[in-house]
Amino acid sequence: MIKRRVFGVPTALAAVLLLSACGEPEVAAPERALSTISPDRGEIRRVVGATGKIAARDEVTVGSEVSGRVLEVLVDFNDMVSVDQVLAIIDPTTSQNRLKQVQGQLENARAQIAVQQASIERAQVSFDNAKRQMTRQQGLFDQDAISESQLEQAQRDMGLAKADMALAEARLVASQASERQLLAQVSEARADLARTTIRSPIDGVVIDRKIDPGQTVQSSFNAPELFAIAADLSEITVDASVVESDVAGLEAGDTARFTVDAYPDDPVEGVVRQLRLKPTEQNNIVSYTAVIEAENPNGMLIPGMTANLQITTETKNGVLRLPVAAERFRPSPADIAEFQTASADDAPTDMLQPTYDRLRAIGLADSRIDQFKSRAEVATQKVRDVINNPEMPWMHARMRTQLAELMDNQVNSFLSADERQAYAELVASERTIRPVDLWVENGGKMSQRTVRLGLSDGSFIEVVDGLAEGDRVVTGIAAGGAGQGGGRPGGRRPGSARP
């Protein structure tokens, strides 16, 4: 008889062996949930950044119209000056001598005028005498008392006397013309003499001085700059450089807020006075100059300081808005399969309807709009199919751009020149509004909805239509418990690849 030996096994070890044989227990995957956010009402501002230099609102450069050596400089930097205050004196010797010379020439011309006037009087006497002789000789000739040759001689004498008088009168006119020229030269010489004393043209403060006593100034071609005077530093301007992409919407009256490096914690408020039309180009970047006016009552802002500006070009209060992160959510195909719900929102939207609405708005008849529809729908069918395919979300943005280009081509080829102009103006008025597909949560599931978005300030974006205050827009998909407001904007599981 064969005996079997049974070896006892400890209870704990048996349990371990049993677990090993059966494998480790499965850990349940954490449940995932949609992270959402609801639109609210508030303020949205479009702000443009720029830099510029501070300058006095009214600045005058004082120059010299005469040449000479500077004898005195009576003001310095930062000195307050008033109208007609003497700033500097240039050696007046040359101007004084010039004035004396012209005055002597004027006196000589006046003497010549007196001589010519006397000559006229003398010529008048000679003419009168010749005229009397002629009258007497004519009477004698009529009585046959003298010969014809004697009468002709009397006529010649009267003609010469008349010519002499005309010549004297002409010389007088010439002398009088010389007098007028010399009077103008005297006036100019006196003005040049007065210009040797440099005076302030305005009330203000000296912000630049470019001359010293003993220096010679030369004004042969251009007036040399001697001083720069700021009219009133209680008001300043900033010439801000704005890149061309930020010019749209910027206009006079927009508010600006800026700081300078010296006072970074003291912002200053200003107003855009002018957007200059002259462009400047540097390193292939085109920019325009916006002139901003601001108050400077305490004088802390000094010309030449660099201002860092934030210009508000548009403000909307009490508008429905969403955080910009809501637009970045892009679910993966697996996320769509798990969370998408069939609803009216999932139905493909008519992306061509805005174009039809614009055509109707510019006055096209329904028959022409129907004709345009038949052409446009055929030309854009393939692109619209991709946009309406929820399995290809990464293609939507590119396809929307292509759809816009196709529709522009269709519109331009269909409309007349005047109609194209009206259509372009209507599109320009809608330049800040664009359609976007967002995902909206409903009962733990989500559906896609086309929403029109408008003005954005970088943090919030305006909801024009397509959403109400109670709607919940999906911003991500997170592990269970993340709930509202959290989650990953991308909506893909860690490690998953974009198909």
CA dist 311 and 305 (Å) reads 18
Tokens of 202: 């305005």
| Confidence class for position 25, pLDDT limits 50, 70, 90 | low
Confidence check: pLDDT of 15 > 90: no
CATH code, residues 59-91+197-229: 2.40.50.100
- Tabulate helix, strand, coil % of the chain (nearest 5): 40, 30, 30
Confidence check: pLDDT of 407 > 80: yes
Confidence check: pLDDT of 252 > 60: yes
CA-closest candidate to residue 112, choices 184, 171, 169 = 171
Q: Which amino acid is at 390?
A: P
Q: How far apart, in Å, do the first and last CA atoms of the chain sit?
A: 71
CA dist 157 and 134 (Å) reads 8
CA dist 300 and 290 (Å) reads 22
Q: Per-residue pLDDT tens for 333-385?
A: 888 888 887 544 444 556 788 788 889 888 999 999 999 999 988 888 888 88
Q: Per-residue pLDDT tens for 304-322?
A: 899 999 998 888 899 899 9
Q: Please, what's the b/e burial string for 42-72 (b: 16 or more CB within 10 A of its CB; e: otherwise)?
A: eebbbbbebebebbbbebeebebebbbebee
Which residues fall within 8 angstroms of residue 293, CB to CB, at 6 or more apart? 57, 235, 236, 237, 270, 271, 273
Q: What is the pLDDT of residue 41?
A: 92
Pseudo-torsion of CA 267, 271, 276, 280, nearest 10°?
10
Yes or no: say if 193 and 214 are a contact pair by the CB < 8 Å rule.
no
Q: Per-residue pLDDT tens for 93-129?
A: 988 999 999 999 999 988 888 888 888 888 888 888 8
Q: What is the pLDDT of residue 116?
A: 86
What is the total residue count of the chain? 499
Confidence check: pLDDT of 21 > 70: no
Is residue 37 classed exposed, middle or buried when 0-12, 13-18 and 19+ CB atoms within 10 A define those classes?
buried
77: number of Cβ within 10 Å:
11
Confidence check: pLDDT of 245 > 90: no
Yes or no: say if 288 and 247 are a contact pair by the CB < 8 Å rule.
yes
Q: How big is the CA angle at 94 (ends 92 and 99), to the nearest 5 degrees? A: 90
CA dist 115 and 172 (Å) reads 8
DSSP code string of 158-216: HHHHHHHHHHHHHHHHHHHHHHHHHHHHHHHHHHHHHHTEEE-SSSEEEEEE---TT-E
Q: What is the pLDDT of residue 14?
A: 41
| Residue-range domain boundaries for the chain | 59-91+197-229, 93-195, 319-479
